[in-house]
Amino acid sequence: MFLYLIDLFGTIVFAISGVLLAGRLKMDPFGVVVLASVTAIGGGTMRDIALGATPVFWITDTTYLWVILATSFLTMLIVRRPKRLSWWVLPVCDAIGLSVFVGIGVDKSLLYQDSSLVAIIMGVLTGCGGGIIRDILAREIPMILRSEVYATACIVGGIFHTTAIQMGYDHKTAFLSGFLSTLIIRLGAIRWHLSLPVFAINR
């Protein structure tokens, strides 16, 4: 139940992230719902397909779809003027959703196989997959492909999560350690504009 509730929380936060971006780009209500949906469940969908966890989670439990629809319409009603939002609202919402989904991805992967490395990869895919689809649809360079500390935060969070489990901690504690490490790194990157070195070839 704890994992399920935290998963719905992540779905809400990522859906809000999609709605805010759609509002910034002046999309119509259909575009808003589409962007919110792919952001919220895109990564988890790719994870389940990769793990062979079929049918995909939102097909067996349509609560996710109703939560996305409700979140989309409520956010559109509450946030009527996206341009007046502070610059940090969208990145912080994204960071919270990212941290939750990485933990969800790691936990679910460990239910289907025993490799910590695969679990970390599935955590990154769950956390970043929806955002990649969202940014592509919005015609922006995906966050994970920029020099910002994004996927790196997911990897570190996945390492903390899997290491805690290997050390014998319970799943809630392991989840919390991964969640906090991902969130702290991502928020630090947002606050101090941290980035990785850029690979460039001189012509």
pLDDT at 50: 95
pLDDT at 81: 60
Query: Does pLDDT of 115 surpass 70?
Result: yes
How far apart are alpha carbons 189 and 186 in whole angstroms? 5
Count of the separate structural domains present in the chain: 1
Cut 0.85: pTM above it: yes
Instruction: Kindly give, in sequence order, each residue whose CB lies less than 8 Å from that of residue 138, ignoring residues fewer than 6 positions away.
Output: 21, 22, 25, 35
How do residues 27-65 score in pLDDT, each as one tens digit? 999 999 999 999 999 999 999 999 999 899 999 999 999
Closest C-alpha among 182, 162, 159, 181 to residue 107: 162
pLDDT confidence tier of residue 5, bands split at 50, 70 and 90: confident
Task: Report the pLDDT averaged over residues 139-146.
Answer: 82
Task: Report the pLDDT averaged over residues 114-122.
Answer: 96
Domain housing 98: 2-192
Task: Report the pLDDT averaged over residues 185-194.
Answer: 92
The answer to the question of residue 202 being in a domain is: no
The answer to the question of residue 199 being in a domain is: no
CB count in 10 Å sphere of residue 177: 20
The answer to the question of residue 197 being in a domain is: no
Give Cα 47 distance to the centre of its chain: 12
Query: Does pLDDT of 85 surpass 70?
Result: no
The answer to the question of residue 198 being in a domain is: no
pLDDT at 83: 58
How far apart are alpha carbons 42 and 120 in whole angstroms? 17
The terminus-to-terminus CA distance of the chain in angstroms comes to 56
